[in-house]
Every structure is written in C-alpha cells, then in structure tokens.
C-alpha cells in the first residue's frame, strides 16, 4: 500500500499535549499501514519562532499531505499582537489556503456521559447532530474590514458579511450529501429577516434543494431561534447547515449538549485538502498541566482515517477504543461528575492505546 503523509500541527496551549496523545494512536496505526508523519508550525508557537502564525512552509506541507491534524491555536500571551499576526490568523489562513470550505462538527452523546451534560438526561440522550459550517467565507473573511478613526475623532469598527451563489451552493451540496447518509433532514440556519446576505443564503439553499435533493427534508430557521431550539429540544435536528460565524457559535452550543466540548472532533474539507481538529480551543487556563482531555483529538484521528485515508477499519477501532475507556470509567476532569476520580491527558491517551492493542 502507498505511504500516506499526515501533517501534524500541534499549535499552542493544550495543543501540544493532546497531539502527543494522538501521535500514540498514529504510532499504533503506523504498525498496520504505512504512515509518514511530518510536523509543522502554526499559531503563536509559529509566530514566536518565525514571526508569522502561518509560515509558507506549513501551507506547502499541508497541500502535499493526505491530511492535516491540528491541535489548537491561541493564548493570552499573544492577545496584544496586531490582528494580522495573531495565532487565530494562522488557523483562518490555513483554512483559506487549503480551500477548506466545509466544516463538519458532529455532536453526539456518548451514553456513558449523558449525565455529564448540564442539561437533563432525557433532553440530551440520543442526540446526533451534524453541524455543517461554511468555513472559508462570510464575515470572517469579507472585505472591507478594519478599525478606522472618523473626522469627529470617533473610531469605527467594521466587517463585511458576504456570500456568493457558488459559495452557498457548494456548502449546501455538502450538507444535503451528508444528510443522505443520515436521517435525511437539513435545517438551514440564517438571519434572513434582517440580513440581505443570508436572504440570498436561504434562496440558494432552497434552489439547490429543489434542483437535486427532493429526497431530503429541508427546513429554515433564524439563528436566534436555532440557538433556543438547540437547548429546548435538540433531538429535532439532524443536519444543520449555516454560515461561518453562526456555525462557530452554534457548534459550541451543540457541543455542550454532549457533556463536554472535550469530546468533539471535526473535519474541515475542501475539494483537495482536509484538516482534522478537536473543536475546543487551546485552553490556556489548563495548558501544560496534563489535565486536558485528548479524546476529541483522538476522535479527530478516527475521522481522518475514515474520510481522508481510506482506513475505515482503523477508524472504527479507534472509536470503539474511546468507547471502551469510557466504559472502564476513565474520566478526565472535563467529563467527570462531581466526586468522580479523574485521570490526566497522558493516562487517557495510554488507556486508548491499551484498548486498541
């Protein structure tokens, strides 16, 4: 079998610790399949070493790799930097450079953790939501943007929300295709009652649906209502498709239904490249303490095996190993109930590898 190259980008904060655990899983897989693991720089760590949060070299490595695995970016020590070189620019930059317009963020409750949610068990148990977030356009990238000083001395900050028809079409197609493999229901989330740009969003999603996806049930929801419905009755959702910023917000909300953001993996897909990462951030408050939950990153590896590396068997084995360690009662602090004993990052990674072997 041909060698598969994986670019690993630990990044900042807990990124370093969780990626170390994911690498143990890659090492296990490397005994079964020929994997070439290369490591690169991104985020504040890259800025400190090279003066930019996204070195050109990283972009080249990303384009050459079969898949990219990312830890997290950002940290308080870089918050005073100019926007153009903040760690987050590294992440936005690689999404753009690799053409990663489709972000899949599943929110699924592990039965073992249903009690860890802050919502009632009967509200969350059994939820299985896929947020399909547009990732390379919208208000995150629209021009013009900036902060200017007006003649009257006031300062004015501005960003631009923009979507073209083709940008909406391609994410809508991904959402409908995703739904076809699930419960065949798509809820498109917008703010079409106020924002023209998302009125276009609604029109185009409706057109794509009418043209090619009559077998899928399509509904529309305003984002404020969607936020409320996610908390009120999350089981009504199958696939949610939405803009970059709404998807950023709603996917964090959806993640907490599952008990912990520390359990959730994600895939960012383009037509050529793919990047996998946990959806939680760099968690500066616990960075370096060995407390972070590595399972979201390990599950991101499973997602990468399935979607980019044609290794469905290994993907399933990793997912089952994660389930097995939960069955054993092993918990990092973020998924533990009050009073339950907890283990650290490395012990959790080791337990997954032990379950695999």
Nearest one of 5, 82, 91, 100 to 45, comparing CA atoms:
91
Cα–Cα distance list, 235 to 173, 178, 183, 307 (Å): 23, 17, 12, 25
Residue 289 annotated in active site:
no
What does each C-alpha distance from 51 to 40, 48, 88, 345 come to in angstroms?
Answer: 15, 6, 14, 30
User: What are the phi and psi torsion angles at 53 (to 5°)?
Assistant: -75, -10
Q: Return the ∠ at Cα 312 (arms to 356 and 261), rounded to 5°.
A: 70
With CB atoms as reference, the residue minimizing the distance to ligand IPM is 88
User: Is 191 designated active site?
Assistant: yes
Torsion of CA 207, 212, 218, 224, to 10 degrees: -50
Compare residues 130 and 321 and give the one whose CB is closer to ligand IPM: 130
| Residue in 12, 248, 277, 334 binding Mg ion, rule: CB under 5 A | 248
239, 186 in Cβ contact below 8 A? yes
Tell me the two tokens of residue 70. 């990312």
Nearest to Mg ion of 188, 244 (CB atom): 244
91 binds ligand IPM (CB under 6 A): yes
Asked about 224 being catalytic, the answer comes back as yes
* Partner from ligand IPM, Mg ion, none binding residue 74, C-beta < 5-8 Å depending on class: ligand IPM
What the block records as the tokens of 161 is 């929300």
Q: What proportions of the chain, in percent to the nearest 5, are helix, strand and coil?
A: 50, 20, 35
Q: Does the active-site annotation cover 252?
A: yes
Closer residue to ligand IPM (CB): 55 or 87: 87
Q: Note if 101 is an active site residue.
A: no
Instruction: Decide if residue 281 touches ligand IPM (CB under 6 A).
Output: yes
Q: Which of 48, 252, 310, 350 is catalytic?
A: 252
43-50 vs 87-97: helix crossing angle, rounded to 10: 100
Site for ligand IPM in 70-89 (CB under 6 A): 74, 88
Q: Do 19 and 300 meet the contact criterion of CB atoms below 8 Å apart?
A: no
Q: Which does 88 bind (CB under 5 to 8 A by kind): Mg ion, ligand IPM, none?
A: ligand IPM
Catalytic residue among 140, 163, 213, 276: 140
Q: Describe the crossing of helices 244-257 and 223-232 by its angle, rounded to 10 degrees.
A: 10
Smallest gap from residue 268 Cβ to ligand IPM (A): 9
Taking the complex as a whole, the smallest distance from the CB of residue 280 to ligand IPM amounts, in Å, to 9
Question: Taking the complex as a whole, how short is the minimal distance between the CB of residue 248 and ligand IPM, in angstroms?
Answer: 4
Contact letters for ligand IPM, residues 242-271 (x by CB under 6 A):
------x-----------------------
- How far is residue 187's CA from residue 152's CA, in Å, rounded to a whole number? 45
Q: Choose between 91 and 124: whose C-beta lies nearer to ligand IPM.
A: 91
Nearest to 257 by CA among 131, 118, 130, 126: 118
- Binding partner selected for residue 91 from ligand IPM, Mg ion, none, CB under the kind-specific 5 to 8 Å limit: ligand IPM
Write down the catalytic residue from 83, 121, 145, 224. 224
Catalytic residue of the set 12, 190, 238, 248: 248
- Give the three-state DSSP class for 129: strand
| Nearer CB in complex with ligand IPM: 86/209 | 86
What does the alpha-carbon distance between residue 196 and residue 205 come to, in Å, rounded to a whole number? 14
**Contact call for residue 15 and ligand IPM (CB under 6 A):** no
Size of interface with ligand IPM, in residues (CB under 6 A) = 6
If the CB atoms of residues 93 and 290 are measured against Mg ion, the closer one turns out to be: 93
Active site residues: 140, 191, 224, 248, 252
Kindly list the residues in this chain that would bind Mg ion in the complex (CB under 5 A): 248
Kindly list the residues in this chain that would bind ligand IPM in the complex (CB under 6 A): 74, 88, 91-92, 248, 281
């Amino acid at each position: 079998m041909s060698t598969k190259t994986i670019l690993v980008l630990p990044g900042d904060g807990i990124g370093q610790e969780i990626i170390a655990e994911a690498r143990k899983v890659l090492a296990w897989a490397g005994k079964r399949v020929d994997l070439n693991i290369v490591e690169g720089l991104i985020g504040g760590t890259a800025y400190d070493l090279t003066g930019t949060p996204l070195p050109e070299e990283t972009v080249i490595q990303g384009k050459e790799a079969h898949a990219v695995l990312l830890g997290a970016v950002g940290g308080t020590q870089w918050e005073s930097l100019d926007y153009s070189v903040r760690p987050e620019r590294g992440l936005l930059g690689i999404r753009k450079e690799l053409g990663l317009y489709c972000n899949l963020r599943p929110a699924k409750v592990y039965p073992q953790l249903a009690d860890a949610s802050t919502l009632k068990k009967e509200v969350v148990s059994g939820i299985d939501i896929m947020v399909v977030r547009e990732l390379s356009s919208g208000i995150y990238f629209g021009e013009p943007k900036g902060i200017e000083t007006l003649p009257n001395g006031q300062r004015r900050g501005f960003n631009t929300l923009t979507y073209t028809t083709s940008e909406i079409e391609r994410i809508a197609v991904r959402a409908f295709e995703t739904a076809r493999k699930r419960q065949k229901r798509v809820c498109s989330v917008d703010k079409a009652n106020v924002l023209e740009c998302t009125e276009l969003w609604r029109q185009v999603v409706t057109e794509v649906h009418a043209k090619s996806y009559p077998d899928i049930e399509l509904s529309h929801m305003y984002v404020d209502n969607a936020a409320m419905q996610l908390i009120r009755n999350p089981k009504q959702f199958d696939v949610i498709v939405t803009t970059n910023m709404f998807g950023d917000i709603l996917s964090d909300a959806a993640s907490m239904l599952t008990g912990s953001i520390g359990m959730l993996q994600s895939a960012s897909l383009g037509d050529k490249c793919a990047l996998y990462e946990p959806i939680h951030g760099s968690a500066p408050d616990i960075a370096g303490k060995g407390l972070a939950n590595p399972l979201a990153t390990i599950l991101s590896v499973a997602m990468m095996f399935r979607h980019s590396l044609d290794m469905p068997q290994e993907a399933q084995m990793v997912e089952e190993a994660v389930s097995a360690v939960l069955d054993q009662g092993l918990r990092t602090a973020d998924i533990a109930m009050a009073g339950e004993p907890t283990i650290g990052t490395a012990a959790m990674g080791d337990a997954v590898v032990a379950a695999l072997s």
